[in-house]
């Protein structure tokens, strides 16, 4: 499968990606400022926040796809599933 280029992405996806990158840029700037101040405690806090947010951003598409698969499986199995993903189809 070929990855979508920026021009092929839906406008909402492109906006979300730009927002995520802007947020990560701010977190990196905050981390660098704390490192410049040689504030170890604040540096570790900001590094933890950066890695946590990065992880959320990277895992969000997989979690969304996982909920879609669970919902699709529940339609075929007759089980009732509820999704916390607002854009996922409900059985």
What pLDDT is stored for residue 56 in this prediction?
83
DSSP calls for 23-60: HHHHHHHHHHHHHHTT-HHHHHHHHHHHHHHHHHHHHH
Residues 42 and 55: their CA atoms lie apart, in Å, by 20
pLDDT digits (tens, 9 = 90+) for 45-68: 999 999 998 888 887 766 665 566
Residues 51 and 87: their CA atoms lie apart, in Å, by 26
In terms of Cα–Cα distance, which of 53, 17, 49, 19 is closest to 31?
49
Residue ranges in the chain modelled with pLDDT below 50: 1, 81, 83, 89-91
């Amino acid at each position: 499968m070929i990855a979508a280029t920026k021009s092929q992405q839906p406008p909402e996806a492109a906006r979300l990606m730009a927002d995520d990158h802007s947020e990560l840029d701010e977190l990196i700037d905050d981390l660098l400022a704390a490192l410049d101040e040689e504030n170890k405690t604040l540096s570790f806090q900001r590094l933890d926040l950066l890695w946590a947010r990065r992880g959320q951003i990277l895992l969000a598409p997989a979690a969304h796809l996982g909920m879609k698969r669970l919902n699709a499986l529940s339609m075929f199995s007759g089980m009732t599933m509820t999704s916390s993903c607002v854009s996922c189809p409900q059985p």
